[in-house]
Amino acid sequence: MIRTLPRLSSQERLVYGMVVVWILTMISVPIVRWTLGDAALPTAVSLGVLMQVIAVCVVLISARGAGGARSPPSA
């Protein structure tokens, strides 16, 4: 019997997509260094850090909700 994967919401697709983009960026850093040299390394590392920040922000906002990220929880 073939089992299908559960459907993902658009928010979950965004989260997984950003994590995949970050991982691919980190994989590409040594490749960029190998092909373009050490001069390209700061740009590649900066891009990797930027992708990580964006991925973490997307995960946190989706976990808490966009409205909850702006205001503290009410007691």
User: Which pLDDT tens digit goes with each residue over 19-32?
Assistant: 999 999 999 999 99
Question: How many structural domains is the chain composed of?
Answer: 1
Asked if 18 and 58 touch (Cβ cutoff 8 Å), the reply is yes
**Sign of the four-CA dihedral 60, 66, 71, 72:** negative
- What pLDDT does 8 receive? 81
In a domain, 54, yes or no: yes
In a domain, 55, yes or no: yes
User: Which pLDDT tens digit goes with each residue over 23-72?
Assistant: 999 999 999 999 999 999 999 999 999 999 999 999 999 888 765 555 56
In a domain, 1, yes or no: no
Domain that includes residue 38, residue range: 10-64
